[in-house]
Every structure is written in C-alpha cells, then in structure tokens.
C-alpha cells in the first residue's frame, strides 16, 4: 500500500504512479470473458475469424495508474509466434503514454516467451499507432474495419 502522504506529494508534482503487472487468475479470466463479449457481442461464432473464446490467451497484463486499472493487454500463442489478442486503454484516465508503455511491455514479454514475431489484428483507426511502433501491415489482411499487422521479434533488439 502506498502511503497517502506519498500519493499527495506525487500529485503535487504532476507525476503519476504507474505499474504494469501480470493479471491474477481471476482478473485474467474476467478480462478475457469481457473482451470476448465486447468483440463478439456475446456470440461464440460470429464469422469474424476470431476464436470462440480467449481460452488460449497465455498472458494478461494490467497497467495501473494510482491504483486504478487504466489499460490491459493479452498475448496468445500462434504456433512459434504470438498474437496481441487485445489491447484496451481507458483514454479518460490512462496516462498519455499508456499505449506505448504497454506495447513495449508486450513486445518484451513476447520475446521472453520465445515468439519469433508478434501478430496484431487491429481496427483501422489504430493503424497509425502500430505502424509507428514498427509493425508492418500485412497485404490482403483487411476484414471489415480491421487489418492484420506483424512485428518481427529480433532476439537482441530493444523496443
């Protein structure tokens, strides 16, 4: 627990207390179910090509700012590669660099899991973000309002 006096001092300086941590089992299950319902409208098979559930999500990480959940992401196996299955950010309360922080964390986590590349299916509105982070749009991957991106994971590279 962070002492109230420390939190008050941090607020006065304009700094934000942030941490990225692995989701506990119950949190992971809840967030995977929530994402599944949001993306699929509660439908197990919606024809989108997405899995019927997020049961194959291997890791979920949370970004907390001042002890509040502000963003989270999930990584799934895709053979020898990984997939950034979801990345959600509450833009109203998340720090302005939350997306970049989570992206760097996701890349390092995927690299640590031994994946050769990280695949991302993202809405077209997020394409500028993922391409600015170095992900390459895959030709012919557009489905509705989303596209697939690939980010090669070089063993020695830093994000």
- Count the domains in the chain: 1
Q: Is 159 part of any domain?
A: no
pLDDT in tens, 78-111: 889 999 988 988 888 887 888 899 999 999 999 9
Q: Is the pLDDT of residue 114 over 50?
A: yes
pTM given for the model? 0.75
pLDDT value of position 16? 55
Which residues constitute the domain of residue 51? 4-152
Q: Is 40 part of any domain?
A: yes
Summarize the confidence of residues 131-151 as an average pLDDT. 90
Bridge partners (DSSP) listed for residue 68: 65
Alpha-carbon torsion, ordered 26, 32, 33, 37, to 10 deg: 160
Residue 3 gets the label, from left (phi > 0), alpha (psi -120 to 50) or beta, of beta
Please state, in angstroms and as integers, the Cα–Cα distance from residue 45 to each residue in 36, 37, 66, following that order: 11, 11, 38
CATH number at residue 110: 3.40.630.30
How many whole angstroms separate alpha carbon 147 and alpha carbon 144?
Answer: 8
Q: Is 47 part of any domain?
A: yes
Q: Is 157 part of any domain?
A: no
pLDDT value of position 42? 52
pLDDT in tens, 17-64: 678 999 998 888 888 888 878 776 654 444 444 544 577 888 999 998
pLDDT value of position 8? 54
Q: Is 91 part of any domain?
A: yes
Q: Is 78 part of any domain?
A: yes
Q: Is 158 part of any domain?
A: no
């Amino acid at each position: 627990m962070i002492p109230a006096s420390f939190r008050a001092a941090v607020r006065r300086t304009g700094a934000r207390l942030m941490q990225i941590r692995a989701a506990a089992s119950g949190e992971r299950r809840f967030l995977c179910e929530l994402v599944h319902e949001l993306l699929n409208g509660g439908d197990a098979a919606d024809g989108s090509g997405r899995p019927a559930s997020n049961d194959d999500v291997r890791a979920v990480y949370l970004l907390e700012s001042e002890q509040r959940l502000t963003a989270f992401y999930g990584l799934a196996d895709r053979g020898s590669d990984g997939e950034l299955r979801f990345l959600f950010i509450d833009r109203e309360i998340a720090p302005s660099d939350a997306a970049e922080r989570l992206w760097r964390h996701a890349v390092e986590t995927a690299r640590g899991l031994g994946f050769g590349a990280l695949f991302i299916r993202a809405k077209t509105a997020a394409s500028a973000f993922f391409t600015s982070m170095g992900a390459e749009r895959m030709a012919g991957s557009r489905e509705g309002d989303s596209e697939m991106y690939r980010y090669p994971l070089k063993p020695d590279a830093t994000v």
